Amino acid sequence: MGFFNAKTKDDNSCIETDRFTMVTDRFTMVIPPPNVTGDLHIGHALTAAIEDSIVRWYRMSHPDHSVSWLPGYDHAGIATQCAVEKRLSNQGLDRRELGRESFISEVWDWTKQRQTNIGMQLRLLGSSLDWSKSLFTMNESYIKAVEEAFVRLYDSGLIHRDVSLVNWSPWLQSAISDIEVDVVSVNGATSITVPGRSEPVSCGVLEYFIYPVYGSPDRFITVATTRLETMIGDTAVAIHPDDPRYSEFHGASLIHPIIEDRLVPIILEHSVNINYGSGAVKITPAHDFNDFQTAKKHDIEVINVMDDHGRMISADPRIDQLDRFDARCAVRDILIEKGLYRGTQPVDTTLPICSRSGDIVEPLLKYHWLLTTSDMATKARNAVECGDLKLYPEWHTKTWNNWLGRPRDWCLSRQLWWGHQIPAYRVTLKEKRVEESLNTEIDDDGQWVVARNLNEAFEKAMKHFHVERDEVEVTRDEDF
């Protein structure tokens, strides 16, 4: 094993500085750290063989260099938590029944076993890794590095807290990133198995119903949707301004079919596809990414009608607290009873599926910590355009520009129990109102400061609000 250790400061190739030991000739490569979700597979073996060939060649051809191939393991927060939860489920257990402390103990037991297995597999492959420098992404030094990066990005204005739509998995009880969402094609009426439900869910069906025109109950507009349960959150209906079928309805309002005291405005929107469905689009800002942008553009009310568990929130007791898919049936029955339902049509569509759990993802309005990506995306596109960065093969440039041409703020928060906890603290002033400060984040939960540790959080809170330590309380964000 010692043969594969890099040269140290006792070797002639090193020089001393006042801060650290620096090697003058160095070649270092980090293994893509395998996730501790399970054992290695053939893909890992292929990568290890290629990297092993590279470092062995460097050792032979550059004997005066310090050559390091560094091993490590990735804690893979959401994936590992899902793997452990699945194992517990097979034993008839649930993490919420265990509690956070006991569950984390289970995860550490899992992690240590997987690290042992992965390390043994890499050794059996003959991988010439420097095991003396092995790291795990939940090591204390790594945690401090992540927290330091978060604080610096926040201080530079790149991280902020805001309310926005996120990809939400009701089964995981967490937001997930765009790359953790699989967009699955559905060709016509299809039954989909959803975790937590004994019966499959019917998808790929366009359902039609009508909106009566306010002041003219004998006139109406027909709309269509594949997610009928979300209609209780509709706050507008959009039509194309050049669609002759609806020219007489410009500026009119509609009566919501179920929430009858809610007037729904008709808005003119050029993005509406005249040839899809009825050509009129229901706008549900709190549960659709495109509708959310449309609502901001037209200053439309945003109403959340679903909780974290995928249960409906409604003033109508026939719908309130129903599971989202049960609510789909309930809404259909109500519309049929009122004579407002107009039937179904099979349709080819796509479904956002959580790659970790198989759950159908719901766009949900949540407060989260977000990373601003627009400037970074612009720099990345410019780097390719001016030739500083070359993509091989070149046809990848189109994908690159398409992806970076529509950047969204990146959701950093996860509602997990395993991983790196967000280094943000909610501030509560004892017997005083929390007032807005230019250097803190404020939302419906209160005021926030971002800090490297609890003491620093207290110091920032005391400074912002001009109070003593015993006059303020700080509580760390539970998001990871």
CA 211 vs CA 221, 262, 379, 450: distances in Å: 5, 12, 46, 47
pLDDT for residue 82 is more than 90: no
Quick one: average pLDDT of 422-437? Answer: 72
Sign of CA dihedral 352, 354, 355, 358: negative
Judge whether 63 and 51 are in contact, CB under 8 Å. no
Among 384, 388, 409, CA closest to 398: 384
The single residue listed with the structure tokens 């062995």 is 56
pTM over 0.95: no
CA gap 58, 340 in Å, rounded: 74
* DSSP designation for 64: T
pLDDT at 356: 83
Q: In this structure, is the dihedral angle defined by the CA atoms of residues 178, 181, 185 and 188, taken in order, positive or negative?
A: negative
**pLDDT the model gives residue 438:** 34
175: part of which helix (H) or strand (E)?
strand 174-176
Q: Which tens digit of pLDDT belongs to each residue from 212-235? A: 999 987 899 999 999 999 999 999
Under a CB-based contact definition with an 8 Å cutoff, are residues 423 and 150 in contact? yes
How far is 13 from 7, CA to CA, in rounded Å? Answer: 8
- SS3 at position 72: strand
**Amino acid 109: pLDDT:** 95
Residues 55 and 18: beta-carbon distance below 8 Å:
no
Q: What is the mean pLDDT of residues 168-188?
A: 90
Position 408 scores a pLDDT of 83
What integer pLDDT is reported at residue 3 of this predicted model?
A: 55
**Where residue 16 falls among pLDDT bands split at 50, 70, 90?**
very low
> What is the tens place of the pLDDT at every residue in 181-198?
999 999 999 999 998 888
Query: Distance between terminal CA atoms of the chain?
Result: 37
**Least confident range of 20-29, 350-359, 450-459:** 20-29
Pairing of strands 446-450, 472-476: unpaired
Task: Note the pLDDT tens digit of each residue in 345-387.
Answer: 999 999 999 988 899 999 999 888 999 999 999 999 999 999 9
CA-derived radius of gyration, the chain = 27
What's the rounded Cα separation, in Å, for the pair 298 and 285? 11
